[in-house]
Structure 1
Amino acid sequence: KIIYQRSVPEQKGEDLHDTYRRLFAEKRSREQAYGSTIIGPHRDDLLFLINGRPAKAYASQGEHKTFVIALKLGEFQHLEQQRDQAPILLFDDIFGELDAGRIEEMLNQLSDIGQVFVTTTSRNFFDKISHFKHTTHYYAVQNGTIDYQTETPENRGMQGA
């Protein structure tokens, strides 16, 4: 379940636009002192519940990452349907807390949907899986040098990175 949480409480008898206008006026000097906005829709949040409990507090790090990945894949499908074109996906360091089964499933799903960029500080997640059957292309950055490499299922694990 997903619950939208406003940062600005709804005021009875007051239009949301008027509520924001009033609060902006009230908080202006404080916002100027902080150098950033205190209120606004950018401060709203989504509360994700798993079995009625907040995922943020009760899910393991691996479950939390899996949940975020599933949300991103849902967003991908929605955008693809709306625009009739596959968006480019970017995942930043998503494999750190995942077990081998989840990593392998994730890579197999990603390899079938279009152009995907995955950043990681370590390539050792490939050591955890043995059945990933797709060719990967990657840029390895070491000591200020960028090296482009291609890895096939046949030569996976034979290259050092």
Structure 2
Amino acid sequence: MIGSIKESSAQILEFIDSTINYNKIFIYDNHKTRENIMLRDFVFQRMRLFANTAEFKSIQIQNNIGKNDVLISNPDVLSIIIHNILDNAIKYTDQGFIYIYGITNECRYHLVIEDTGLGMSEEEISKLKQAEDFSGSRLGMKIVKELLPFIDVSFNIESKKGEGTKMILTFTG
């Protein structure tokens, strides 16, 4: 129980820190800062925030990113994006898996976060991609869509109802 309280407190602190960083991006225009990010370790740190919730929901999160995968990006922006995608994956998955891995092709790196959750219909995906009015449970996606252009990343969603969702972030350059 103490461990659960400790983790919940850490999640709250991370949320507050994430919110502050989100606001700094717009106030101080600090999204232009870039640095080398060891992606496997970076993602592992974000995964830790969701460990208790994943365990409670019988979800296994697998970080299959290569040990030497490095991205040049803004760590604050990327952290918020990954946090929101993982949050959604956990929210819509019960007793399943979340796989995180990278694929390199055509001089592009694709960061994939794939879950075995509820999935979405083609209509739901289309609405999500086109939506400007994000309310309720879509707030995380609104944040992701607002931040991706700041780090020159595009996204694609592949999903089937009842089979899960694959969120693909494509880094250019």
TM-score of the aligned structures, taking structure 1 as reference length: 0.29
Q: Which has the higher contact order (CA 8 A, sep 6+)?
A: 2
Q: If you compute each CA radius of gyration, which structure gives the higher value, 1 or 2?
A: 1
More helix by share: 2
With the length of structure 2 as denominator, give the TM-score of the two structures: 0.27
